[in-house]
Amino acid sequence: MKKENNILEQLLTDDNDINEKELLDILSPFIKINNSNQDIIFLDSTLDFNLKSKLLLFLLGKKVSFLLGKAETDHIKAKDIIEETGIPKGSVLPNLKLLKDEKLVTSDSQGYFITSYQISKIKNRNILN
């Protein structure tokens, strides 16, 4: 029975199981991150992107800052998303709700964030456009 449990443990995951190469592949054509202040810089390739895609890129960029130890958390409050992106509240809040409903973004009392399994879902569904 012990041996079977070891095999089944391969199914377990947590938010630390991040494929950094996958994250780099997703983000590198679309954003850069300012090293001094961790601001997310949208590249010209995102000019025609819909708002949901831009919010996903922003949250993924914040995850990178966190993974690199340059931010204390990857959980971002809606007011901070609005402030940092300059996107109006009336656009940000409904789109965050849509992303949550689609299970592409998670939220808790600390804010919005993207989990490791959601990164793969974003890539596999080819959501960024």
Q: What would the pLDDT profile of 43-56 be if each residue is shown by its tens digit? A: 999 999 999 999 99
Residue 35 clears pLDDT 50, i.e. is over it: yes
Query: Cα separation of 29 and 33, whole Å?
Result: 12
Query: Cα separation of 58 and 117, whole Å?
Result: 17
Query: Cα separation of 114 and 122, whole Å?
Result: 10
| pLDDT tens per residue, range 75-92 | 999 999 999 999 999 999
Q: How much of the chain exceeds pLDDT 70, in percent?
A: 94
| pLDDT tens per residue, range 89-102 | 999 999 999 999 99
Domains annotated for the chain, with CATH where assigned, are: 39-129 (1.10.10.10)
Query: Cα separation of 39 and 31, whole Å?
Result: 10
Mean pLDDT over 36-41 rounds to 95
What H or E segment, with its residue span, contains residue 108? Answer: strand 106-108
